Amino acid sequence: MRLRTFTARTMPDAMAQVREALGPDAVILSTGKERGMIAVTAALDAADPPPQASPQTPPIDIEEVVSEALAAHGVPPRLADRLVAAAIELQSADPVLALAGALDAVFTFAPLSERRPARPLMLVGPPGAGKTVSVAKLATRLVLSGHKLRVVSSDTVRAGGIAQLEPFTRLLSVPLHRAETAKQLAQIVAAAPAGEALLVDSAGINPYSAGDRDELAALIAASGAEPILVLPAGGDVFDAIEIAGAFRALGCTRLIVTRLDMVHRLGSTLAAAAEARLGFCDAGITPDVAQGLSPLNPVALARLLLPEAARSSSSLTPEHATP
């Protein structure tokens, strides 16, 4: 197997290098950043030379394919037009690659790393978004990566909130704390040993309630945590935009998308991320903790938006990038 890493300033440029060097059967193994550059690691079975495109294959109308897909997902027209224009500008014959480049140009992508976070992470969001399950998945990822951590639940509103986390933390041999006030949370964070990661599960709040927002803001300030919005896919576009905006005002800059196994339309998710200027980090596709969270990158998101094109195209298949 031929394994190579390509670097460029943008995802489309890196993907173009992969396509030119390894051909349409290249498998994308990972994407990330190296010294401020986009890095794409790809592989190709050396025994199988890249096949040449058949001259009988009719060209794909990228504008039509991408436009229809975005319309089917309910993406607002102004955002859809912006993405289509960016996809056309790339001049790629592959719709997944074209849309991935457009997504990379419009959105930011900052997946949660397997490295120990430099500061506590607090998952926030509306009730029922999947915060507790996402905390359990992140805890599992960090433990399997060899990190020590502790988990704190500030969810004292929902019945059984801490009880839902307890079986997972016990299985992982991870300390679980309960913080009913901002002061208690600050004390737990201050007492945590140096070098340990800390994950905070917060109670779901009503983003339209000033009181709820103030309480959450106090918890964020007391812990010094990075708040990460957990937002379920689907739902009304305008509601999603307003909810995302409320959490952006509380300091969120990244977004975990959940319930991708239960929805077929991602228009509200794209609109919320665009309007609130939130970067995509990870996605939850199942409530099963063992399945973990899947890092979101432009190729993975493009394949979610273009599932038919992703299945029918042999070009640049992201083997480990698709949620």
For the segment 272-316, what is each residue's pLDDT rounded down to a tens digit?
999 999 999 999 988 787 778 889 999 999 999 998 765 555 444
Q: Are 217 and 225 in contact (CB under 8 A)?
A: no
pLDDT over 50 at 74, yes or no: yes
Higher local confidence (pLDDT), 315 or 236: 236
125 — pLDDT class (breaks 50, 70, 90)? very high
What does the pLDDT read at residue 302?
Answer: 94
For the segment 152-177, what is each residue's pLDDT rounded down to a tens digit?
999 876 656 688 889 999 999 999 99
Tokens matching residue 52: 């040449």
Mean pLDDT estimate for the chain: 86
Q: Identify the H or E element spanning 2.
A: strand 2-8
CATH class of the region 121-296:
alpha beta
Q: Residue 79 to residues 103, 137, 274: CA-CA distances in angstroms?
A: 11, 32, 8
Average pLDDT over residues 30-43: 76
Contacts 24+ apart (CB under 8 A), 74-77: 74/237, 74/265, 74/267, 74/268, 75/266, 75/267, 75/270, 75/271, 76/237, 76/267, 76/271
Of the ranges 94-98, 212-216, 261-265, the best mean pLDDT one: 212-216
Tokens matching residue 64: 């039509």
Q: Could you tell me the residue ranges of all domains in the chain? A: 2-109+305-318, 121-296
Q: What is the pTM of this model?
A: 0.80
For the segment 175-209, what is each residue's pLDDT rounded down to a tens digit?
999 999 999 999 999 999 988 999 999 999 999 99
